[in-house]
Amino acid sequence: MKRTIIWFRKDFRLHDHPALWEAAKEGIVIPVYIWSDEEKLSYSKSEASFWWLYHSLASLDKGLQTHGLKLFIKDGDEFDALLEVMEEADAGAVYFNERYEPDERKKDSRIAAQLESIGKEVQTFHGHLLFTPDLLNKQGEPYKVFTSYWKRCMQEVVAQPFPVPEKMQGIDRELQTLPIDHIRTLAERPWNEKFHQYWEPGEQVAIGKWEQFSDDGIFYYGTERDLISSGSSSELSPYLAAGNISVKAIWYSAKRVYEETTEMTARQSINSFLKQLIWRDFAYHQLIHYPDIIRLPLRKQFAEFPWKGSNEQLTKWKVGQTGYPLVDAGMRELWETGVMHNRVRMVTASFLVKHLLIPWGKGYSWFEKTLLDFDTANNAMGWQWVTGCGIDCAPYFRIFNPFLQSEKFDPDGTYIRKWVPELSRLPVPYIHRPWEAPAKVLEDADIQIGVTYPPPIVDHAAARKRALLAYQEVKGK
Ligand SMILES: Cc1cc2nc3c(=O)[nH]c(=O)nc-3n(C[C@H](O)[C@H](O)[C@H](O)COP(=O)(O)OP(=O)(O)OC[C@H]3O[C@@H](n4cnc5c(N)ncnc54)[C@H](O)[C@@H]3O)c2cc1C
């Protein structure tokens, strides 16, 4: 009977796993995860996702065990490790779902070529996105505008997701493997133990979360997703990033809900959720065609942008001590929970690059370290979008006003009160601008500006003017 290695990477699930589905149909399945030097380097930068990785592996192994299979863990060079398992298991084939990050793509092609050159079979599959990310427009070029990309996607058909294979046959001999705890000890950081209070990684939890959202939140998503404390987004991003849940499965399930819904606003809400999933695909479309997007601005003139901010200001931004309540709430939420609401990501990111004139790459790296849902494509697109240096992005001169954003999307200050507790006794409207509060209001709320809460790190009007002047320097280039 054919024996196939399934090389798991960011697809820690059993449902809609095209490589697993194909191999299970054909014979014996040998699931493998390789803790390679590249994985070590990558997760040393994205520490929060490392925590998620460990728990996803544990959950995947548990899921496999219910089908009589086991996850084999290897530490070392990926090609060597694959070869070692193939020899041990007497397997002739390796199947895996594609990755789209530039270095990973190159590595995967190299490994596939090496294996094929010694007579092994390699098959790769698309499992991480709705569409293959290499779609081109009529001129044979990548899409640069989201609406055109989205319209094109609407003409394509999303491949039907696969269920969990009904029958999976594992190998009937012991293979050498490391315990998952080999990774656990490394994944633990003093600050990430608290993630357990907020998250449980893994496939079953992801499916449960989706079912709950598609029963309720999805109907209000269009009107409420920007309201920071409404809890009306799906909170599925870390599960999608690690592949605990399939985006195609979500797509078809949301489409079914759409078909069963007659109310117009609810239908629009579902559509607006589906559109976000296409934004995720669009991020990968950009990453495939502009692999430098991780490091370099897509609008080249931004390479000469006169960035100014200091390390001291960067640190204050990271720890949520800027004196701007919404920004501080977001940065503290991120550190505590490993995620941040999308609206607040936009405001905090904009504040870093426009109010503080700190290069977006510094923000990218901090998000990479602290986000549980860190995703190279989404993070790069998000930062370039906010900075105004990407494709189809917010123009640089549109500068978010953090107070207005806060008044609009956290009107009663619930979010600020939660994450900046020293301001919790301030009434509206001062919760959004504490330093404008009369002395008596501050005293009643037990606040001393400069002692219990910092004054604004920069003056909004002056920072805005400075940002626009800086933009003038590169605008025409
Ligand atoms: C500066 C910046 C950095 C970001 N970094 C990341 C990141 O590293 N990883 C990440 O997954 N998202 C990132 N985002 C996008 C977005 O903030 C998150 O996907 C969203 O907050 C996740 O919450 P949710 O799962 O409740 O999303 P929902 O609103 O329920 O959306 C469902 C899914 O669609 C996708 N999605 C939603 N919004 C976007 C978007 N704007 N761009 C791309 N995909 C989207 C996500 O996979 C999300 O889980 C970033 C945004 C900004 C502005």
Question: Which runs of E-coded beta strand occur in 39-146?
Answer: 72-75, 93-97, 121-125
- Is 190 a residue whose pLDDT tops 80? no
Q: Is the CB of 297 under 6 A from ligand 1?
A: no
Q: Is the CB of 232 under 6 A from ligand 1?
A: no
pTM comes to 0.97
pLDDT reported for residue 433 = 96
**In this structure, are residues 171 and 67 in contact, taking their beta carbons and an 8 Å threshold?**
no
CA of 182 to the centre of ligand 1 (A): 31
CA of 241 to the centre of ligand 1 (A): 10
For residue 234, which atom of ligand 1 is closest to its CA? 30
- Is 183 a residue whose pLDDT tops 90? no
**Is the alpha carbon torsion for 391, 348, 413, 191 positive or negative?**
positive
Mean of all residue pLDDT scores within the chain: 95
pLDDT reported for residue 355 = 98
CA of 236 to the centre of ligand 1 (A): 9
Which two tokens mark 110?
């190299």
**Ligand 1 binding pocket mutation candidate from 223, 237, 334, 398 (most atoms within 8 A of CB):** 237
pLDDT reported for residue 148 = 96
Q: Omega before 429 cis (within 30°)? A: yes
- Reported as half-sphere exposure (CB side, CA atoms, 13 A), residue 425 has a value of 12
pLDDT reported for residue 78 = 97
CA of 476 to the centre of ligand 1 (A): 32
Reduced to 3 states (helix: H, G, I; strand: E, B; else coil), residue 325 is helix
Q: What percent of the chain has pLDDT over 70?
A: 100
CA 232 to the chain's CA centroid: 18
pLDDT reported for residue 244 = 98
Q: Is the CB of 46 under 6 A from ligand 1?
A: no
- Is 200 a residue whose pLDDT tops 90? yes
Q: Is the CB of 236 under 6 A from ligand 1?
A: yes
Instruction: Tell me the β-bridge partners of 94.
Output: 5, 122
CA of 223 to the centre of ligand 1 (A): 17
Average pLDDT over residues 277-286: 98
- Is 477 a residue whose pLDDT tops 90? no
Average pLDDT over residues 109-119: 98
Average pLDDT over residues 459-476: 93
Model confidence over 209-258: pLDDT tens digits? 999 999 999 999 999 999 998 888 999 999 999 999 999 999 999 999 99
Q: Is the CB of 234 under 6 A from ligand 1?
A: yes
- Using CA atoms, how far residue 340 sits from 24, 148, 317, 332, 443, in Å, is 38, 29, 14, 9, 31
Which two tokens mark 302?
């931004």
- Using CA atoms, how far residue 349 sits from 226, 235, 328, 353, in Å, is 16, 20, 12, 6
pLDDT reported for residue 234 = 97
Q: Is the CB of 129 under 6 A from ligand 1?
A: no
Amino acid at 385: W
Model confidence over 128-153: pLDDT tens digits? 999 999 899 999 999 999 999 999 99
Which two tokens mark 363?
């923000």
pLDDT reported for residue 2 = 97
**In this structure, are residues 158 and 404 in contact, taking their beta carbons and an 8 Å threshold?**
no
pLDDT reported for residue 274 = 98
